């Protein structure tokens, strides 16, 4: 499927675990519309190796995201009960105890499919039986959704490749800088650096942000 950038983020309602241990039904990103930006990220499976490093890394930076009026929400194809069990396990034992942002349970795999992160496809064999070509879990997808529900950034990594949480913060800063100043962000831009503004003759020039 094509990119979701510039399009409305696919809506869903699903079970989730919030606040580190509360299972809720019908969790939706729609609750943030008009209120907050959202970093929505997918990871492959509970009780694995790279995944807890990412979930803890997002938790460590959660206050930084919140300071930017940005909610962090995770999702995998595991059940909410699996999420809950993992959340009760100490970090030293491979668990994610201490993670407080919502973790969505995409048990139907439709959320992963609609966001283009599902690793695998369904097919039919010669006997008419439904088969899966792939493990049917989520790649490491990450989406920045603005307050109007529009996807402004997406990144999808293969299973072995963990993400950089500081880069996720940087891309939030870049979007908010553009929205505030009307200036675009050049390569390797970080908060506090100069932006760029296109002149009427089409030549971009640097302008101080201070």
Beta bridge mates, 155: 142
- Residues serving a catalytic function are 51
Give the CATH number of domain 14-163.
3.40.30.10
Number of other residues whose CB lies within 10 A of the CB of residue 110: 14
Domain residues of the chain, as ranges? 14-163, 165-173+182-210
Tens-level pLDDT at each residue, the chain (210 residues): 689 999 999 999 999 999 999 999 999 999 999 999 999 999 999 999 999 999 999 999 999 999 999 999 999 999 999 999 999 999 999 999 999 999 999 999 999 999 999 999 999 999 999 999 999 999 999 999 999 999 999 999 999 999 999 999 999 999 999 999 888 878 888 887 788 885 544 444 444 443
How far is residue 78's CA from residue 100's CA, in Å, rounded to a whole number?
17
**pTM of structure:** 0.91
The predicted-structure confidence for 54-102, as pLDDT tens digits, reads as follows 999 999 999 999 999 999 999 999 999 999 999 999 999 999 999 999 9
The predicted-structure confidence for 144-153, as pLDDT tens digits, reads as follows 999 999 999 9
């Amino acid at each position: 499927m094509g990119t979701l950038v510039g399009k409305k983020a696919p809506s869903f309602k699903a079970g989730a675990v919030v606040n580190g241990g509360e299972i809720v039904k019908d969790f939706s990103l729609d609750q943030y519309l008009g209120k907050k930006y959202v970093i929505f990220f997918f990871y492959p499976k509970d009780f694995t190796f790279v995944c807890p490093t990412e979930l803890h890394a997002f938790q460590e930076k959660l206050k930084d995201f919140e300071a930017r009026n940005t909610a962090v929400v995770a999702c995998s194809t595991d059940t909410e009960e699996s999420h809950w069990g993992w959340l009760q396990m100490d970090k030293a034992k491979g668990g994610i105890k201490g993670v407080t942002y919502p973790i969505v349970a995409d048990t139907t795999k439709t959320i992963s499919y609609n966001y283009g992160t599902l690793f695998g496809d369904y097919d039919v064999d010669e006997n008419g039986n439904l088969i899966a070509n792939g493990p049917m879990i989520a790649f490491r997808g990450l989406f920045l959704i603005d307050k109007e529900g529009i996807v402004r950034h997406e990144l999808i990594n293969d299973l072995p490749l963990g993400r950089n949480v500081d880069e996720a913060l940087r891309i939030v800063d870049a979007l908010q800088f553009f929205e505030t100043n009307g200036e675009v962000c050049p390569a390797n831009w970080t908060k506090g650096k100069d932006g760029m503004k296109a002149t009427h003759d089409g030549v971009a020039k640097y302008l101080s942000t201070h």
